[in-house]
Structure 1
Amino acid sequence: MHMNTNSVLIRKMKHTDYEVMAQWLSTKEVLEFYGDVNSPFTLQQVKDKYEPRVNGDIPVIPYIVELDGSPIGFMQQYILNEEKQEEFGYPTNLNVFGIDQFIGYPKLFNKGIGTKMIRIFIEYISQHKDVDIIILDPTASNLRAIKTYEKCGFRKVKKIHDGTSWLMEYKISHR
């Protein structure tokens, strides 16, 4: 059965979101592909990592995904620096953005929510940022995520990180 009642909303992350992030980043199914299963995050570690992002002190912008008004996941965007762009084979005159995301509750996996999140995010970034390409680097074994990304228009470019991840890209069409 397919229900389209779920309203997905993406908003900037706030200081009040650290608790729920700590909960998600202690969930085995989340850490399997985002972080390290053997090192769940404490609340303090979440603060240390995400507070500078929330404050805008570093150029990684964090967001919280809500489903029907409740936080259910995380997304972030950042501009690739020149070294990274060259490492991945992009000319430095292109604006390349990276995105990362996860859904925090395993019971919400495989319901099409990830696809919705990413489509909304692509739309937002391409409208508000000067961007040519959006990239992702999922772990090669994360087939569920890769399938979602392909559904959203990303394509595999090449293996990176010693072959453990795929570099995937989405080209923005400038009309």
Structure 2
Amino acid sequence: MFFQNGSLSVRRLKEQDKYLLAKWLSTPVVLKYYEGRDNPFDLDKVDSVFYASEDDEVKCIIEYEGKPIGYIQYYELDEAAKKEYGYESGKIFGTDQFIGEVGYWNRGIGTLLVTSMTDFLFKHMKADKSVLDPQVWNERAIKCYEKCGFNKVKLLPKHELHEGKFRDCWLIESNK
């Protein structure tokens, strides 16, 4: 387990979690915010994206009161990403996350998760900054991130392909 904060815990992704990921990432209301409704996942796609990839992301499952409810990954930005975002140096981490169990939305768990992960990155990974790049239209996520101490830094035009269109994103950061 990476950390626990009250009823919330984050642990490394396990092989058996692929069934949860396939369930969550084939749910239209979840896909609206993560990956896009035109991009559902089956088990093969989950395997290729989450288990067969050779990337540097640390892939984790979010649990609340012992029940798996979502996914989070963290990674240190490489030089190309730092340059794209306008950073010259420093140990900068990014995260991507979603709560896949919709019944756990609007309960403050997202705020607890982002705050806890940010604390983990600064205390244990010795981050200088933590960054996120939510799509501009995703006001719900942006409000959560701002509540957690993140600030908008830079508009990233046409940064992410989502539902057939390149969408603008905000680069937001915490210097906690």
Residue 124, structure 1, aligned to residue 125, structure 2: no
Q: 1:171 aligns with which of 167, 171, 175?
A: 175
Q: How far apart, in 2, do the equivalents of 1:171 and 1:161 lie?
A: 23
Task: Give SS of 1:164's match.
Answer: strand
Query: TM-score when scaled to structure 2?
Result: 0.88
Q: Which runs of 4+ in 1 moved over 3 A?
A: none
Output the CA distance in 2 between the equivalents of 1:7 and 1:42. 30
- Confirm whether residue 76 of structure 1 aligns to residue 76 of structure 2: no
Q: Could you tell me how far 1:167 is from its partner in structure 2? A: 0.6
Residue of structure 2 in register with 1:61 after alignment: 58
Confirm whether residue 31 of structure 1 aligns to residue 31 of structure 2. Answer: yes
**Whole-Å Cα distance in 2 between the matches of residues 148 and 52 of structure 1?**
31
TM-score (norm 1): 0.88
Encode CA deviations 1:13-39: one digit per residue, 9 max, x unaligned: 111100000101011111112102012
- Partner of residue 137 from structure 2, selected from 131, 134, 141: 141
Q: Take 1:81 and 1:22, find their aligned partners in 2: how far apart are those partners? A: 28
Deviation of 1:95 (Å): 1.1
More strand by share: 2
Distance 1:49 1:115, change over 3 A: same
* Partner residue in 2 for 1:115: 111
Residue 154 in structure 1 maps to residue 150 in structure 2: yes
Deviation at 1:107, TM superposition (A): 2.1
Q: Once the 2 structures are TM-superposed, how far is the Cα of residue 86 of structure 1 from its aligned partner?
A: 1.0
CA-based RMSD of the aligned residues comes to 1.4
- Conserved? CA contact 1:13–1:64, under 8 Å: yes
CA–CA distance in 2 between the matches of 1:9 and 1:81?
A: 27
Stretches of structure 1 lacking an aligned partner (at least 5 in a row): 1-5
SS at structure 2 position matched to 1:131: coil
Deviation sequence 1:118-139 (CA, Å, 0-9, x none): 1111111112113111100111
Map of 2:91 onto structure 1 = 95
Instruction: Name the CA distance, whole Å, in 2 between partners of 1:90 and 1:52.
Output: 30
Percent identity between matched residues is: 39
1:106 paired with 2:110, answer no
- Unpaired segments ≥5 residues, structure 2: 1-5, 159-166
Alignment deviations for residues 88-133 of structure 1 (CA, whole Å, 9 cap, x no partner): 1111x21111101000022221110000111111111112113111
Q: How many residues align?
A: 163
